[in-house]
Amino acid sequence: FQREKTACVPYVFLIKWLHNHSSQQQGHDPVNFHDIPFVKDFLSTHPGHHIPLFLLSKEQAAVLIQAFWRGYKSL
């Protein structure tokens, strides 16, 4: 059994789609996710855009879970 992985992150798609299809953006070129103003503001105050947990390999997930249970890191 091979576990399927996808690079699609739902919230990134949803934010980008809603921003590019809003009534204020009619007639403008589509904007990349990292170029949306409120996303830029959020990422400037909350750096380190992490990889979604469902995209981690088994080894990466094991290290993260062990670090959490040992008290080294919080999820």
Q: What percent of the chain has pLDDT over 90?
A: 4
45 domain residue, yes or no: yes
28 domain residue, yes or no: yes
Q: How many domains, the chain?
A: 1
For 14, 46, 58, the CA distances from 50, given in Å and listed in that order, are 17, 10, 16
**35-63, pLDDT tens digit by residue?**
999 989 988 887 765 677 777 888 888 88
16 domain residue, yes or no: yes
75 domain residue, yes or no: no
pLDDT of residue 61: 84
Residue 73 has pLDDT above 70, yes or no: no
Residue 1 has pLDDT above 60, yes or no: no
1 domain residue, yes or no: no
Domain limits at 37?
10-70
4 domain residue, yes or no: no
pTM of the complete model:
0.53
pLDDT of residue 75: 55
34 domain residue, yes or no: yes
Find the mean pLDDT for residues 6-34: 83
CB contact at 8 A, 49 and 6? no
